[in-house]
Amino acid sequence: MPTQIRRIEKEYFLSKLAGEQIPVIYIFNRQDYVLKVDRITKEEIAFITEKPVEGLVVNKKINLMFDYKGLSVSFSAEVKHVSDAVISTSIPEVLYKNLARSSQRIAVPTDLQVTLMSLEDRYSLPFPKSSAFEPLDNSAVLPGIDPHNFNAIIAHIVQELKPYASGYKIIYYNTHVQPDKMEERIVAENGRILFIPSTQSKLPQEFTTEKRFITQSIFKRYLESIGVGATFLDQTIEQFMKAKVDEGIFSLLWIPFIFQEYVVGCMYVWKNNQDTTDKLPFSEELAEKLYQYGKCLIFSLKERNYFEAGCMKDRIINGRVADISGSGLRFAVPNSFIFQSLQPGVEIAVTLKSPNRTINTKIRIRRRYKEANLVYLGCSFMELAPDDSQFLFEFIYGKPSNPLVENFIAGNV
């Protein structure tokens, strides 16, 4: 992983670039260009080039790197001016050092076609979409439960709830039935569990598993999103809790059933005031167990082809490849829910087609970040055969792979 250079270090490195005339490497169109700093102002860096850089465009970001006493430093900067011998860029916002990549990122050659394919089915379904994404595999099957026996799973849930709950309800959504109550909508939108241990106290501010549960702050953000003013947030939550008390409810759980980015339904579990002495208290452990039962239900539905009508046969990811290196690539997709599955750790099939060779391999997402209305994903190559790796390096850089060169132009996907 890259280490971001602190501001004071950034100024130090930039001053060394100018004072010691350290060569800065830029690779474009399979050509290496060596730049040296002519001057640095508060707004710009002026580089002198050994030869003109053909095709460089003003207002476009370029990736540069230099080596300082064995330390590889990389940064991006926006081109401000180009002439035969001088290139001016903006001052980089951040510099990165000790990077783990084995080659520098460059623009994708025009004669290299990159196709990205999802390794899992994608769906278009009539259910509420959530900001969460839940992959579904055999791990959803609980020990001792037949995933093909839907009724048996329900029976297990009922048995599990007997010592705890006064009642439960399972709600399934479709084109006609959508989340109705406020608590349903917040659970569906966030894809998280709403757990209120006691309606006679405040909403929990934190949980052991933060990513799974709705906290007080998340509840407030939802209220703000539907138009509740900041001065009325606490009052609205108090009214919500009082309404539950008036219904005679002491504890409650809302468990979402998630299939990929869709909330297929919810399980509502409650305990009445009169049952607080006879029933065991609700807990995070119980909520987690019910969540796993929900995954098992979804797995059962999938095995019964419940979602098959909404399966999208085209697995192509229409992403724009921003740049590529000998060790990976970076691509961007629109900031939409359909790409919630593209998270760090996920693998993607990729085809790299050049005029002389086609490489089929996989990439793994290493990092993800948002910029404007796009989501950028930095990926590293996996299972790349040595001869394919050598060919790709030569194709994008225009020269054979060399360990010394690779170490000098080190960077990160």
Question: Which of 285, 309, 333 is the C-terminal boundary of a domain?
Answer: 309
Q: What's 82's domain CATH number?
A: 2.30.110.10
Consecutive H or E run containing 287: helix 284-303
How many domains does the chain divide into? 3
Name the residue range of residue 133's domain: 129-309
Classify residue 212: in a domain, yes or no: yes
- Whether 338 maps to a domain, the answer reads yes
Q: Interior CA angle at 96 toward 112 and 26, to 5°?
A: 45
Whether 274 and 328 map to the same domain: the answer is no
Please tell me whether residues 271 and 194 are part of one structural domain.
yes
Does any domain span residue 201?
A: yes
Do 93 and 171 lie in a common domain? Answer: no
- Shared domain for 179 and 254, answered yes or no, is yes
Supply the pTM of this predicted model: 0.65
- Please tell me the distance from the alpha carbon of residue 172 to that of residue 180, in angstroms, as a whole number: 12
Give how far Cα 203 sits from Cα of 238, 257, 368, Å. Answer: 9, 22, 31
289 & 375 share domain: no
Per-residue pLDDT of the chain (413 residues; tens, 9 = 90+): 456 666 778 888 888 888 889 889 887 777 778 899 999 998 999 999 888 887 888 988 888 888 877 677 888 899 999 988 899 999 998 888 754 445 566 778 888 899 999 888 888 899 998 888 887 777 667 777 887 888 889 999 999 999 999 999 999 998 889 999 999 999 999 999 999 999 999 999 998 877 899 999 999 999 999 999 999 999 999 999 999 999 999 999 999 999 988 999 999 999 999 999 999 999 999 999 999 999 999 999 998 899 998 888 778 888 888 888 888 898 988 876 456 678 888 889 999 999 989 999 999 998 888 877 888 888 989 888 888 888 888 888 776 655 444 443 333 33
Same domain, 145 and 291: yes
Specify if 104 maps to a domain: no
| Domain end point (choices 240, 275, 309) | 309
End-to-end CA gap in the chain: 9
Same domain flag for 245 and 327: no
Q: Are residues 73 and 171 in the same domain?
A: no
- Whether 244 and 329 map to the same domain: the answer is no
The reply to whether 329 falls in a domain is: yes
Together in a domain, 284 and 181: yes
Say if 103 falls within a structural domain.
no
One domain for residues 154 and 300 = yes
Cβ neighbors of 24 (< 8 A, separation 6 or more) are 17, 34, 35, 36, 37, 47, 64, 65, 66
For residue 299, give the CATH number of its domain: 3.30.450.40
Is position 381 within any domain? yes
25, 54 Cβ separation under 8 angstroms: no
Establish if 102 belongs to a structural domain: no
369 and 400 inside one domain = yes
